[in-house]
Chains A and B, each alone.
Chain A
């Protein structure tokens, strides 16, 4: 099997024993990118010389968790000396001056930072069509979207252009693209991974997480990036467990929320997810009916809170200190021209939505109300987790759609995250694992866990993955 197609675990074994070198692995991936990224457009930025130089420096025979493993990062994470555009014209020409905490951790564990991946501008979108630098294509069907906003990070793993990658998940931006490209995507609990160096979209919802080819690799990545960071006050000072994923599902209670199987959902997707849940039952899990009654409000709540926070978070992009600047008559005019030219339509739409939701006279009706419903959604999960150890749902209601299909209707696009958003609002953890196909398009099973109980969802995901062959299916490129 080609080196680029291997997992972290498989490669670590070969690197540790000296069977292959970090340079060979890196070169294999660079060749693969050269061969297929013209079709996928997963990468926004690559520096082959730098990647090879990192490979030369690393001691791949060491016991470090990621020694010699090439990893791609979403263009929203700061890596010292690299560009970081968030797929936006407004950050064109900007070079990061520091490493995000997750990058520091990857480097400490010997990873090779391979390149930067495409995304929806400022992580706003579900298809990667909102990138200022062109769409990324789904490796399973080049006419279709790879999901979003971390579409590049999903496509590069699904297309064997990276061994693993990092994305960010604000309302499903890891799990949804993982589902529609057939890889594993993990959103850790809010506060589990430091957000320092992640360009903020919605600060109370954002969380960094990995895309991998297997559940075991996701657990390895989480071990590396999790943990308290003094520079992120919202990161929680809890010890990082070993994330042992063996043990199976026997005796575990898995909750099936009735609100997550909706009319109009794709029938093949529903069938694949229901089959996966039956499979978990046959592996010894007890499937229990649960209810998350405030689910129907999640999308509305999300688009008020996330846009409100974004309206402030994106205010700093004004052309004064860094990034692109379009000169105007005076400072106010310069702000207008810079932001007018720098932001794309979806980003502008959300800034205006958020600004409106926070405005005098509307704050109570929108932002404050949304916060109250967010509390109810969190309580839904707390109640549900008294009855079960984890919750199983579809990750998306349909498989990857065609490029351009939903571009004209932002509301339709917002509904892509209908099953993933509640988890961010509640602050819990969630994972999507491949669970079959709708036609030739991958389908994802979502497993949601209690706050800081990544171990349980990884265990469920591992048991399921090991009992199927879905994760071994690769797209033909």
Chain B
């Protein structure tokens, strides 16, 4: 019997806001433990949350990019459970009225997007544990997909596309090293052709897109093999260990939490009116898919170039400023820049470099040297060409003078050429280049020489 997997993903994404969701503490990463905290995000007695409107706007923006319906009256709920990483022992989240409903990323349906507060980070030492509350209260968006994926590749592609969208919209940097994108996965297996789902198994603790793929590549065969052995799977939660490359049982259904959700009395409901929605719509960036198509159509780029550029929003933006009259050439240069956000090169310098080469002012080979200098020093290409004395001599008068000198000094080559040995011209070109100290435009030199020899 053949089996197939059914996969749904819950993705947690930290929003790119300056401050936390309910207090004024900074959200910057990597500070000393417990230095980005205040009574509010530490859950001190008597404090109250105040909503960060920017977090709501970013979540709605994400929803619009994914094609969700925006809930006009949504609210906050308390999700109750005890854990040391949870300062209040309840999390302010959204239960039945999330900000966004429905939507699609590629072929995968998105059920809902809601906003909540991130928890702190626990550290376990030899004899005790510590909690760093810097992360507690960072705005966290949960994006729940439909169970529309069947293979680890489907999951990988969904996550990659989702990440691309969120980065493009400036909603999140999705930096997985910093834990800005985390994922839980629901996976079950069933005989091909069966309509009902198998027993749903949740996998937690996957901190990268490739980690999700690896976890599923382990978990799906594990479940299929268990069924083939005649075992019965049951609903449970498992933990992925990326080092071991295995999933481990965390808890079975009987130990599932009862979160006792109820409406958060300390916050007013969120009312998204037409004005607010229109404002957010105006910030909607072009989606990656649409942008790729436009790059091919508008700039005549090959699909590959369009894909590379659009995959990195900053690279694509840089390209659009640099495209000039020869977008393909500009794209070739830009795609070699590895750190586009920190490069000293200005987009208009790329335009100038391409123009200099196309006008024959410098050769393509010289262009590479100029580009290397641009990368290192951030100077405009014109300045580099001037400083290095790289400009080609394209002055026909000067070249004609050199050509006549060369013809006069090399009668043998002239005779050979006239006798039909076309290669003899190269020797004369070489002479002219020597006379011009290498600065003459070689193409111009050959055409001037040829004209002179054939004409006389």
Docked-complex contact A198 and B51, CB < 8 angstroms:
no
Docked-complex contact B45 and A84, CB < 8 angstroms:
yes
Binary contact readout B287-329 vs A (1 if CB under 8 angstroms, 0 otherwise): 0000000000000000000000000000000000000000000
* B-chain residues with CB within 8 Å of residue A316 when the two chains form the complex: 43, 45, 87-89
| Complex Cα–Cα for A204 and B90 (A) | 17
| Complex Cα–Cα for A141 and B240 (A) | 67
Binary contact readout B266-282 vs A (1 if CB under 8 angstroms, 0 otherwise): 11100000000000000
* A-chain residues with CB within 8 Å of residue B262 when the two chains form the complex: 308-309, 312, 358, 363, 367
* B-chain residues with CB within 8 Å of residue A321 when the two chains form the complex: 42-44, 87
- B260 near A: Cβ within 8 Å? yes
Docked-complex contact B84 and A358, CB < 8 angstroms:
no
Docked-complex contact B82 and A335, CB < 8 angstroms:
yes
* B-chain residues with CB within 8 Å of residue A98 when the two chains form the complex: 39, 44
The segment out of A60-68, A219-227, A230-238, A386-394 that lies at the interface is A230-238
Q: Give residues of chain A (66-119) contacting chain B, Cβ–Cβ below 8 Å.
A: 77-78, 84, 86, 91, 94, 96-98, 100
* A-chain residues with CB within 8 Å of residue B49 when the two chains form the complex: 233
Docked-complex contact B39 and A97, CB < 8 angstroms:
yes
Docked-complex contact A233 and B258, CB < 8 angstroms:
no
Docked-complex contact A97 and B90, CB < 8 angstroms:
no
Docked-complex contact A315 and B80, CB < 8 angstroms:
yes
Docked-complex contact A199 and B46, CB < 8 angstroms:
yes
| Complex Cα–Cα for A98 and B48 (A) | 13
| Complex Cα–Cα for A200 and B264 (A) | 13
- A331 near B: Cβ within 8 Å? yes
Residue of B nearest to A322 (CB): B44
| Complex Cα–Cα for A128 and B91 (A) | 32
- Determine how close the nearest CB of chain A comes to the CB of B434; give it in whole angstroms: 79
* A-chain residues with CB within 8 Å of residue B260 when the two chains form the complex: 311-312, 355, 358-360, 363
| Complex Cα–Cα for A321 and B49 (A) | 18
Docked-complex contact B50 and A231, CB < 8 angstroms:
yes
Residue of B nearest to A362 (CB): B260
- A471 near B: Cβ within 8 Å? no
* A-chain residues with CB within 8 Å of residue B268 when the two chains form the complex: 233-234
- B161 near A: Cβ within 8 Å? no
- B355 near A: Cβ within 8 Å? no
- Determine how close the nearest CB of chain A comes to the CB of B158; give it in whole angstroms: 31
Binary contact readout A232-264 vs B (1 if CB under 8 angstroms, 0 otherwise): 111000000000000000000000000000000
| Complex Cα–Cα for A198 and B47 (A) | 8
- Determine how close the nearest CB of chain A comes to the CB of B73; give it in whole angstroms: 16
- Determine how close the nearest CB of chain A comes to the CB of B97; give it in whole angstroms: 14
Docked-complex contact B265 and A204, CB < 8 angstroms:
yes
* B-chain residues with CB within 8 Å of residue A202 when the two chains form the complex: 265
Residue of B nearest to A205 (CB): B265
Task: Pick from A230, A233, A317, A320: contact of B266, CB below 8 A.
Answer: A233
* B-chain residues with CB within 8 Å of residue A359 when the two chains form the complex: 258, 260
| Complex Cα–Cα for A323 and B51 (A) | 27
- A270 near B: Cβ within 8 Å? no
Interface of A is mostly: loop
Q: Give residues of chain A (354-399) contacting chain B, Cβ–Cβ below 8 Å.
A: 355, 358-360, 363, 367
| Complex Cα–Cα for A363 and B261 (A) | 9
| Complex Cα–Cα for A200 and B90 (A) | 14
- A419 near B: Cβ within 8 Å? no
- B131 near A: Cβ within 8 Å? yes
* B-chain residues with CB within 8 Å of residue A100 when the two chains form the complex: 46
- B78 near A: Cβ within 8 Å? yes
- Determine how close the nearest CB of chain B comes to the CB of A406; give it in whole angstroms: 28
* B-chain residues with CB within 8 Å of residue A318 when the two chains form the complex: 82, 84, 89
* A-chain residues with CB within 8 Å of residue B51 when the two chains form the complex: 233
Docked-complex contact A312 and B48, CB < 8 angstroms:
no
| Complex Cα–Cα for A198 and B44 (A) | 11
Q: Which of B78, B82, B260 has the most CB of A within 10 A?
A: B260
Q: Which of A97, A196, A315, A355 has the most CB of B within 10 A?
A: A315
Task: Pick from A77, A233, A317, A322: contact of B267, CB below 8 A.
Answer: A233
Binary contact readout A318-361 vs B (1 if CB under 8 angstroms, 0 otherwise): 10111000000001100100000000000000000001001110
Docked-complex contact A197 and B84, CB < 8 angstroms:
no
Residue of B nearest to A197 (CB): B46
Docked-complex contact B44 and A312, CB < 8 angstroms:
no
- A203 near B: Cβ within 8 Å? yes
* B-chain residues with CB within 8 Å of residue A363 when the two chains form the complex: 260, 262
| Complex Cα–Cα for A475 and B90 (A) | 46
Docked-complex contact A233 and B48, CB < 8 angstroms:
yes
Task: Pick from B48, B84, B89: contact of A315, CB below 8 A.
Answer: B89
- A195 near B: Cβ within 8 Å? yes
Q: Which of B46, B87, B258, B262 has the most CB of A within 10 A?
A: B46
| Complex Cα–Cα for A355 and B265 (A) | 16
Docked-complex contact A78 and B89, CB < 8 angstroms:
no
- Determine how close the nearest CB of chain B comes to the CB of A330; give it in whole angstroms: 10
- Determine how close the nearest CB of chain B comes to the CB of A97; give it in whole angstroms: 6
| Complex Cα–Cα for A388 and B126 (A) | 69
- Determine how close the nearest CB of chain A comes to the CB of B125; give it in whole angstroms: 14
- Determine how close the nearest CB of chain B comes to the CB of A299; give it in whole angstroms: 20
| Complex Cα–Cα for A202 and B43 (A) | 16
Docked-complex contact A315 and B267, CB < 8 angstroms:
no
* A-chain residues with CB within 8 Å of residue B78 when the two chains form the complex: 312
* Given contact pairs A199-B46, A230-B50, A312 touches B266 in the complex (Cβ within 8 A): no
Q: Give residues of chain B (32-62) contacting chain A, Cβ–Cβ below 8 Å.
A: 39, 42-51
| Complex Cα–Cα for A312 and B90 (A) | 7
Docked-complex contact A195 and B43, CB < 8 angstroms:
no
* B-chain residues with CB within 8 Å of residue A233 when the two chains form the complex: 48-51, 266-268
| Complex Cα–Cα for A308 and B43 (A) | 18
| Complex Cα–Cα for A232 and B267 (A) | 8
| Complex Cα–Cα for A14 and B410 (A) | 120
Docked-complex contact B258 and A232, CB < 8 angstroms:
no
| Complex Cα–Cα for A315 and B266 (A) | 15
| Complex Cα–Cα for A197 and B47 (A) | 6
- Determine how close the nearest CB of chain B comes to the CB of A9; give it in whole angstroms: 30
- Determine how close the nearest CB of chain A comes to the CB of B421; give it in whole angstroms: 90
Q: Which of B43, B49, B268 has the most CB of A within 10 A?
A: B43
- Determine how close the nearest CB of chain A comes to the CB of B67; give it in whole angstroms: 31
Binary contact readout A197-215 vs B (1 if CB under 8 angstroms, 0 otherwise): 1111011100000000000
* B-chain residues with CB within 8 Å of residue A355 when the two chains form the complex: 260
Docked-complex contact B48 and A86, CB < 8 angstroms:
no
Q: Give residues of chain A (268-316) contacting chain B, Cβ–Cβ below 8 Å.
A: 308-309, 311-312, 315-316
Residue of A nearest to B90 (CB): A312
Docked-complex contact A231 and B42, CB < 8 angstroms:
no
- Determine how close the nearest CB of chain B comes to the CB of A225; give it in whole angstroms: 15
Docked-complex contact A315 and B45, CB < 8 angstroms:
no
Docked-complex contact B45 and A196, CB < 8 angstroms:
no
In the assembled complex, 8 residue pairs joining A and B whose CB atoms fall closer than 8 Å, in A order, are A100-B46, A199-B46, A200-B46, A203-B266, A230-B50, A234-B48, A315-B89, A335-B82
User: What are the 8 closest A-B residue pairs judged by CB atoms, nearest first?
Assistant: A315-B89, A358-B260, A203-B265, A204-B265, A199-B45, A197-B46, A316-B43, A199-B46
Q: A196-B47, A199-B45, A199-B46 are in contact. List 12 more A-B contacts (CB 8 A).
A: A231-B48, A233-B267, A234-B48, A311-B260, A312-B90, A312-B262, A315-B82, A315-B89, A318-B82, A318-B89, A358-B262, A363-B262
